[in-house]
Chains A and B, each alone.
Chain A
Amino acid sequence: MQLFNELKTLGHKHIKADKKANERVPSGIWLACPKCHQSFYHKDLGLYQVCPNCEYGFRITARERLAWLVDKFDEEDAELKTSDPLKFPNYAQKLDKARQNTGLNDSVLTGTAQIAEQTFALGIMDPDFIMGSMGTVTGEKITRLFKRATRKNLPVVIFTASGGARMQEGIFSLMQMAKISQAVQEHSQAGLLYITVLTDPTTGGVTASFAMQGDLILAEPRALVGFAGKRVIEQTTHQKVPNELQDAETVLDHGFIDAIIPRKEMKEKLAWLLKLHNEGNGVNG
């Protein structure tokens, strides 16, 4: 019942089909799209796990995304483990569970990837790993990804998904924002390309650092993109926040996203962009 766990952890609404349908399809469950609220049989979401009605991309693990995104992938830094710097109660158990659920050592999967013969450094955050929160290992893996890319003259692509800072690692989590930003800047100053793809949800310290530092900022349809959580805003301002305030489409209208790319077109568009930036124009050196 992997799918049920996913539903629970991600808080998707779900309703059971009527009993007869259940008998015919034993694992038959229906999902409601959290954005447009239409219901679908889970298989209707297809390979890309996308709402057939509004193209919202359901939250998927990093390894699920990797499976359809790349032609080749060499994983790096898979052995790094957090030192649990605050010795935070019950954190070790939480980590164990997250590792089991995602097959990752922390909330980001990193390595060297290839799409359509374009080689690049790839990072994919996992919303299932403690809400994609940014711990010290997340920060270290992303920093190393950029440093390696700078050394090898490679572009970087990162799929962001994060609830923000890792509370269990406190101030050490916060410091990752500055640490990663230094590595991004070094990579940029070497004239190299950095593409971010904002997926649902991209918030907090990730938005306020490497998610918004791309040369190109892409997003998946209707992905939640913001800094502060909706509840925090409402409790602070005592005002209701419009539902679509942090939809990628709204964020694009406000000037912060280059393009919204449906999941099924992502591989092809990334290949096109990587190639375009790799061709050079032989100009004005």
Chain B
Amino acid sequence: MASFLEKKKTAAQIVANARGEEKVSAQELLAGVFDDFLELHGDRLSADDAAIIGGVAHFEGKPVTVILTNKGKSAQERLRTHFGCPEPAGYRKSLRLIKQAEKFKRPVVTFINTAGAYPGQSAEENGQGEAIARNLLEISSVKVPVIAVIYGEGGSGGALALACGDSVWMFENSMYSVLSPEGFAAILWKDSSRADEAAEVMQLTPEKLLQQKVIDGIIPESRSHKRLFRAVKKVLQQELEKYQKLSASALVEKRQQRFQRF
């Protein structure tokens, strides 16, 4: 993976890196960034979606709730997670855990790497739209900090459902957009092979998004996981401190301002 300091990458290169095989996994992030972790399963309604991992952990000695989208490593796991595309049950689980975090006054950290919410028959039947909508609605007034990190793909509503909190950071090699470049090219130009061109036009790179104030900062990605985790920890520490200082009402008001300006 190219380092932050090397010469400027094209949007298409960033898209390729965001999706690349070298990308750090959800499991590696969990082990590298947190002191410990207990996974909590299930949406209490119908299923447990493997595409979203959630649970409680300590970060630098303090309790947090952690939620990550999970692409899976093995072929079997990738099928089970639809390559990291959550089902409605995944979003219902994440919301359940966020409300739980609110009850116990611990902050929430989310890590996002998804091409988007799973587009499938079962997902439609189980209310994919409703599940994402409820996350947006409820998280808008949650009384604890919700810090998001997009570490690969940030695909559309399926990513926003976990990135509608107080502060959003992106890995250097990650993207965040309303649609995949392939989908964008297909819809606008009726030609999905023009995805690279689409990637430029869409302004989906961390740098562009930071300029637009869609995100709050960029985390340099290094080949060394150790260095990467150190960078992630530094950002989380700083952001948690910043948002935990606020009163609950100031926190919610600031979060609303964050999105009202668009």
A residues with a Cβ closer than 8 A to B are 188, 191, 193, 215-216, 252-259, 269, 272-273, 276-277, 279-285
Contacts and interface: CB of A to CB of B under 8 A. Distances in A.
Given A254-B46, A284-B144, A277 B40 contact: no
A32 B47 CA distance: 32
A276 B243 CA distance: 20
Contact of B106 (A188, A254, A257, A281): A281
A215 B100 CA distance: 7
B50 to A, nearest CB: 10
Given A191-B103, A276-B63, A285 B247 contact: yes
Contact of A258 (B36, B40, B47, B144): B40
10 contacts: A191-B103, A193-B104, A215-B100, A254-B48, A255-B43, A258-B41, A259-B39, A281-B64, A281-B105, A284-B243
Contacts of A255: 41-48, 89, 92-93
A215 B103 contact: yes
Interface residues of B, number: 35
A257 B56 CA distance: 15
Contacts of B63: 276-277, 279-281
B145 interface: yes
A276 B246 CA distance: 22
A273 B65 CA distance: 12
B105 A254 contact: no
A282 B244 contact: yes
A195 to B, nearest CB: 11
Interface string B12-56: 000000000000000000000000101111111111100000001
A191 B104 contact: yes
Given A256-B42, A273-B38, A283 B48 contact: no
Contacts of B144: 283-284
A215 B244 CA distance: 23
Interface in B127-176: 143-145
Contacts of B62: 279, 281
Given A255-B46, A255-B47, A255-B48, A280 B39 contact: no
A206 to B, nearest CB: 17
Given A252-B41, A254-B42, A285-B248, 6 more contacts: A252-B48, A255-B46, A259-B40, A272-B38, A281-B105, A282-B244
Contacts of B43: 255
Interface string B66-104: 000000000000000000000001001100000010011
B233 interface: no
Nearest to B57: A276
B45 A284 contact: no
B217 interface: no
A256 B144 CA distance: 25
B112 interface: no
A150 B144 CA distance: 23
Contacts of B39: 259
A257 to B, nearest CB: 6
Given A254-B47, A255-B48, A284 B40 contact: no
A283 B38 contact: no
B192 to A, nearest CB: 36
B251 interface: yes
Contacts of A272: 36, 38
Interface string B238-262: 0000011011100100000000000
B116 interface: no
A268 to B, nearest CB: 11
Q: Which 7 A-B pairs have the closest CB atoms?
A: A255-B42, A258-B40, A283-B244, A284-B248, A255-B43, A255-B47, A276-B63
